[in-house]
Amino acid sequence: MKLLATLPLLLILSGPAVAQELFCADRSEILSHMGEKYSEAPANAGLTATGNVMEVLSSPDGKTWTLIVSLPDGRTCFVGSGTNWQVVPRKTLGRPT
């Protein structure tokens, strides 16, 4: 399956009340496409409480980013995309000492 042929340029979810079908494909195909077309590569990742792996792909300059989720059944799906990715410094929560 050619990713480019069916990719409508990434889905952006419009809200929790709207059910939308996610575009899913093989993770290696998605990473290859995003790397070639947008110079994006994994920048951040985490494991969700439901066992999915959530990743942010970002271009080196941060101009573009893509959020993908890899499911336990082996599918990787586009969740959203945007521009101007920034790394935000972590702040300590709670009362100052």
Residue range 20-43, pLDDT digits in tens? 577 899 999 999 999 999 999 999
Q: Output the six-digit token pair for 95.
A: 């009362």
Does 77 have pLDDT greater than 60?
A: yes
For residue 35, is it within any domain?
A: yes
Neighbours of 32 (CB within 10 A): 12
Q: Is the pLDDT of residue 78 over 90?
A: yes
Distances (CA, A) of 94 to 28, 70, 90: 40, 33, 13
Please give the mean pLDDT across all residues of the chain.
81
Q: Which helix (H) or strand (E) holds 70?
A: strand 64-70
The pTM for the full model equals: 0.71
Tell me, yes or no, whether 66 lies in a domain: yes
- Does 88 map to a domain? no
Average pLDDT over every residue of 50-75: 94
Q: Is residue 57 part of a domain?
A: yes
Q: Does residue 1 fall inside a structural domain?
A: no
- For position 53, what pLDDT does the model report? 96
